[in-house]
């Protein structure tokens, strides 16, 4: 076994350990912050999640518009010598990202208006 081949399992083990340790550490910090605010960490219904449906709706709307744009580009703009599969994935991701940015701007405007009243 070469030296470089021996590093692969060591790196995978160290990365897995770091991931598990990081998740446990962050979960503990989240629970401690909830206890400091007087919330029960075991109660999942107590966590605030405003605009959840707006975020999901704008994400799916953006992904759908990205998919529709990719379809029209594939049918009418791009020559059919190759299959532009990457175009579909890229435009779905771009559309979904734009939907999430739109959701963020709506939420930010709502909270800004709520603070200044």
Domains of the chain by residue range: 1-48, 49-115
Q: Decide: 100 and 58 in contact? Cβ < 8 Å.
A: yes
Q: What is the pLDDT of residue 1?
A: 62
Q: What is the pLDDT of residue 47?
A: 61
Q: pTM score, two decimals?
A: 0.57
For residue 63, give the H/E element and its range.
helix 52-76
- Split at pLDDT 50, 70, 90, the class of 5 is confident
- pLDDT above 70: residue 70: yes
What mean pLDDT do residues 55-70 have?
92
Cα–Cα distance between 54 and 66 in angstroms, integer? Answer: 18
Cα angle value 22/28/30 (rounded, 5°): 100
pLDDT tens per residue across span 15-40: 999 999 999 999 999 999 989 988 88
């Amino acid at each position: 076994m070469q030296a470089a081949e021996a590093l692969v399992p060591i790196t995978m083990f160290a990365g897995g350990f770091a991931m598990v340790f990081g998740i446990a550490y962050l979960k503990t910090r989240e629970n401690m912050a909830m206890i400091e605010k007087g919330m029960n960490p075991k109660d999942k219904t107590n966590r605030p999640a405003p605009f959840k449906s707006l975020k999901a709706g704008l994400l799916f709307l953006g992904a759908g518009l990205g998919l529709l744009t990719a379809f029209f580009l594939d049918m009418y703009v791009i020559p059919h010598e190759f299959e532009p599969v990457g175009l579909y994935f890229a435009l779905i991701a771009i559309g979904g990202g734009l939907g999430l940015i739109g959701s963020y701007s709506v939420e930010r405007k709502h909270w800004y208006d709520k603070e200044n009243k």
